[in-house]
């Protein structure tokens, strides 16, 4: 068991270690050049983008979650579920759809030209990329906040109301503070994704720290400098997390209630307002892009479709499912170890570092794994480690462990020792404790984690592109290869399939009553 654990921890840390070792030799020439030319600009740009996405996902995610949990309005239950769907949309797809509509030659520009309005370059400034990333990453905040709000006790809300608080007051004084850990966890995930993003910012030619990483690697052929820059990204991610942890202190937020009906039933006007707002969000993120993609796909379907799409679809599905299983099991294992305080503290903090892998651009992570695999091959004099699924699945585990970890952890925190004691007092053996107490209590967290990881893996590009074995091309790869050549019409076909897969996956879970 302990050997298994040590191997697991070692494997998960391997890419990070590989990156840290890069500091062995520092190429001062490249560093000096970067410091003198682009670095300050990139740091400012990255900070602005993080701020934009942070504020954006907070506003959108929290307000939507509050609406669907606390306010009664028409379509609430359906919207509550539909609002998750934008997460199935890869950020780079939304980016090229939006650029296609708003850039030169797009419908919007042709429209404004008819009106005689001057051209507006939506690529300028931080607004464009921040908006796109907000629209695809807000579901992190939404999902976690929704669970947190839904678990708040009705008695607490009722007492706040009886003390004279309006719905607005309840939100500020009760719901928001109590949901804070979940919201911050959601925003952290969104920010880590933002740090790692390359495709979207590249399409807008908005230069973040990932530009320096690519430049170090592709222009100056210095993998070491790229790795060093990547460790800085991880440091930023680590800081984001510690700030939250520090400010939260030792206070716990255990809530186990369940809000079945929304406590607020406002006047008709507000209901229409809530309905309109949610509809607007869905229109912008889901409906309009899907319509644009459909129009594009329809125009080229005979040219683009061939039977290999079945294979790409199958590969994507299989990889996502396997990655979900592995990531969930690992996250569950580590969480249960943390919960039972079985792991020595230093090891626990190391695992915390390993989770920061989520902030690594997929390319850097993949290169780290490639290097580590080459080393393992040499060390064990085998050729087993490169070219198989192993490296790719390891990349998924490292990259998406943080995504699976959070939701499961938050469920663990709601398990009161008294419940376990009571069950034991009633004569439940260890086996029954696991099957009838722990797993049912963790179920919601496990499902949330599974959904997030599934959707994340299905649209993952850089690590898949570098580490996939022969014949394991995915839909995301097809999207990239076509859109890289600006063949957006054709790229719409795999994009829609990918979207379709995510939506159907969510539908099945909904039907099975596993995830709503």
Partner 1 sequence: MNLLKAFAALKQLRFFSLIISFSLAMPLVAISAVQGVQAAESDLVVYSSRKEHLLKPLTDAYTKLTGVKITLYTGKEGALIERLKAEGAETQADVLMLADAGNLGYAAQEGLFQPLNSTLIEKNIPANLRDGAGLWTALSIRARTLIYNTNKLIPSDLKGYADLADPKWKNELCLRTSKKVYNKSLVASLIAHHGEEKAEQIVKGWVNNLAMKPQAKDSQVMQAIIGGGCDVGIVNSYYFGGLVKQQPDVPLKLFWPDQDTTGTHINVSGAGVIKHADQVQKAKQFIEWLSDGQAQEIYAEWNNEYPANPTIKPSELVASWGEFKADSLSLNEVVKYQQQAVKLMQRVGYR
Nearest distance from C-beta of residue 109 to partner 1, angstroms: 6
* Residue that the structure tokens 């797009």 belong to: 106
Question: Closest Cα to residue 142, out of 192, 92, 189?
Answer: 189
Q: Which two tokens stand for residue 423?
A: 């069950």
| CA distance linking residue 442 with residue 330, whole number of Å | 14
Nearest distance from C-beta of residue 36 to partner 1, angstroms: 8
Question: Closest Cα to residue 440, out of 421, 420, 424, 418?
Answer: 420
| CA distance linking residue 484 with residue 462, whole number of Å | 13
Q: Is 386 exposed, middle or buried (0-12, 13-18, 19+ CB in 10 A)?
A: middle
* Residue that the structure tokens 């270690």 belong to: 17
Question: Closest Cα to residue 39, out of 27, 49, 31?
Answer: 31
Q: Which two tokens stand for residue 132?
A: 């796109």
Q: What are phi and psi of 234, to 5 degrees?
A: -65, -35
216 or 451: whose CB is closer to partner 1?
Answer: 216
> Interface with partner 1 by CB under 8 A: which range of 56-64, 72-80, 251-259, 475-483?
475-483
| CA distance linking residue 129 with residue 41, whole number of Å | 16
| CA distance linking residue 314 with residue 310, whole number of Å | 6
| Contact with partner 1 (CB under 8 A) among 127, 153, 161, 207 | 207
| CA distance linking residue 409 with residue 439, whole number of Å | 13
Map the footprint of partner 1 across residues 292-331, applying CB under 8 A: 322, 325-326, 329-330
| CA distance linking residue 469 with residue 389, whole number of Å | 6
In three-state form (DSSP H/G/I as H, E/B as E, the rest C), the secondary structure along 222-276 is: CHHHHHHHHHHHHHHHHHHHHHHHHHHCCCCCCCCCCCCCCCECCCHHHHHHHHH
221 or 510: whose CB is closer to partner 1?
Answer: 221
| CA distance linking residue 428 with residue 431, whole number of Å | 8
| CA distance linking residue 274 with residue 264, whole number of Å | 12
> Interface with partner 1 by CB under 8 A: which range of 344-352, 473-481, 492-500, 502-510?
473-481
124 or 158: whose CB is closer to partner 1?
Answer: 124
| Contact with partner 1 (CB under 8 A) among 40, 159, 205, 294 | 205
Q: Does 101 bind partner 1 (CB under 8 A)?
A: no
Contact predicate 425/326, CB 8 Å: no
23 or 104: whose CB is closer to partner 1?
Answer: 104
Instruction: Print the binding letters for residues 430-459 with partner 1: x by CB under 8 A, - otherwise.
Output: xx-xx--xx---------------------
| Contact with partner 1 (CB under 8 A) among 17, 232, 348, 386 | 386
Count, residues near partner 1 per rule CB under 8 A: 83
Nearest distance from C-beta of residue 507 to partner 1, angstroms: 25
Tally the residues of the chain.
Answer: 516
| CA distance linking residue 374 with residue 397, whole number of Å | 19
Q: What three-state secondary structure class fits 68?
A: helix
Nearest distance from C-beta of residue 85 to partner 1, angstroms: 27
Instruction: Print the binding letters for residues 28-57 with partner 1: x by CB under 8 A, - otherwise.
Output: -----x--xxx-------------------
Contact predicate 403/189, CB 8 Å: yes
258 or 416: whose CB is closer to partner 1?
Answer: 416
Nearest distance from C-beta of residue 17 to partner 1, angstroms: 16
| Contact with partner 1 (CB under 8 A) among 50, 126, 182, 332 | 332
Q: Does 21 bind partner 1 (CB under 8 A)?
A: no
Map the footprint of partner 1 across residues 416-435, applying CB under 8 A: 417, 420-421, 424, 430-431, 433-434
Nearest distance from C-beta of residue 431 to partner 1, angstroms: 6
Map the footprint of partner 1 across residues 120-149, applying CB under 8 A: 121, 123-124
Q: Does 180 bind partner 1 (CB under 8 A)?
A: no
25 or 378: whose CB is closer to partner 1?
Answer: 378
> Interface with partner 1 by CB under 8 A: which range of 57-65, 76-84, 140-148, 383-391?
383-391
Q: What three-state secondary structure class fits 157?
A: helix
| CA distance linking residue 35 with residue 108, whole number of Å | 39
> Interface with partner 1 by CB under 8 A: which range of 133-141, 183-191, 413-421, 506-514?
413-421
| Contact with partner 1 (CB under 8 A) among 142, 217, 264, 515 | 217
């Amino acid at each position: 068991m302990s050997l298994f654990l040590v191997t697991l921890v070692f494997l998960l840390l391997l890419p990070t270690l590989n990156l840290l070792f890069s500091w062995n030799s520092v190429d001062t020439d490249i560093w000096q050049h970067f410091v003198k030319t682009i670095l300050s600009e990139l740091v400012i740009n990255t900070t602005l983008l993080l701020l934009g996405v942070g504020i954006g996902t907070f506003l959108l995610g929290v307000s939507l979650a509050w609406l669907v949990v606390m306010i009664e309005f028409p379509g609430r239950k359906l919207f509550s579920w539909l609002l998750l769907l934008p997460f199935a949309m890869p950020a780079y797809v939304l980016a090229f759809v939006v650029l296609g509509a708003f850039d030169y030659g797009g419908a919007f520009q042709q429209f404004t030209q008819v009106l005689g309005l001057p051209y507006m370059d939506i690529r300028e400034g931080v607004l464009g990329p921040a908006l796109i990333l907000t629209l695809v990453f807000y579901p992190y905040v939404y999902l976690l906040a929704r669970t947190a709000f839904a678990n708040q006790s009705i008695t607490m809300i009722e007492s706040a109301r009886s003390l004279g608080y309006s719905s607005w007051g309840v939100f500020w004084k009760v719901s928001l503070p109590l949901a804070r850990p979940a919201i911050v966890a959601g925003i952290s995930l969104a920010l880590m994704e933002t740090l790692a993003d390359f495709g979207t910012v590249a399409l807008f030619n908005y230069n973040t720290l990932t530009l320096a990483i690519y430049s170090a690697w592709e222009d100056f052929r210095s993998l070491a400098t790229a790795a060093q820059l990547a460790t800085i990204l991880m440091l930023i991610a680590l800081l984001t997390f510690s700030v939250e942890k520090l400010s939260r202190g030792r206070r716990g937020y255990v809530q186990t209630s369940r809000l079945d009906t929304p406590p607020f039933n406002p006047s008709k006007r507000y209901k229409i307002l809530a309905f309109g707002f949610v509809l607007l969000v869905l229109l912008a993120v889901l409906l309009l892009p899907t319509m644009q993609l459909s129009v594009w796909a329809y125009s080229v379907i005979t040219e683009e479709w061939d039977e290999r799409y079945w294979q790409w679809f199958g590969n994507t599905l299989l990889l996502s499912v396997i990655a979900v299983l592995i990531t969930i099991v690992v996250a569950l294992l580590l969480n249960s170890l943390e919960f039972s305080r079985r792991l020595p503290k230093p090891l626990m903090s190391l695992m915390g570092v390993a989770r920061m892998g989520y902030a690594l651009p997929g390319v850097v992570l993949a290169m780290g794994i490639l290097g580590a695999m080459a080393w393992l091959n040499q060390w064990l004099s085998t050729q087993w480690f490169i070219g198989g699924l192993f490296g790719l699945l390891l990349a998924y585990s490292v990259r998406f462990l943080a995504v699976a970890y959070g939701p499961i952890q938050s469920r663990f925190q709601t398990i009161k020792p008294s419940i376990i004691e009571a069950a034991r007092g009633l004569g439940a053996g260890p086996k029954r404790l696991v099957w009838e107490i722990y797993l049912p209590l963790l179920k919601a967290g496990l499902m949330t984690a599974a959904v997030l990881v599934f959707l994340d893996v299905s649209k993952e590009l850089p690590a898949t592109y570098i580490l996939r074995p022969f014949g394991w091309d995915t839909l995301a790869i097809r999207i990239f290869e076509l859109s890289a050549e600006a063949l957006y019409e054709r790229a719409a076909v795999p994009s829609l399939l990918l979207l379709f897969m995510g939506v159907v996956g969510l539908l099945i879970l909904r039907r099975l009553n596993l995830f709503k």
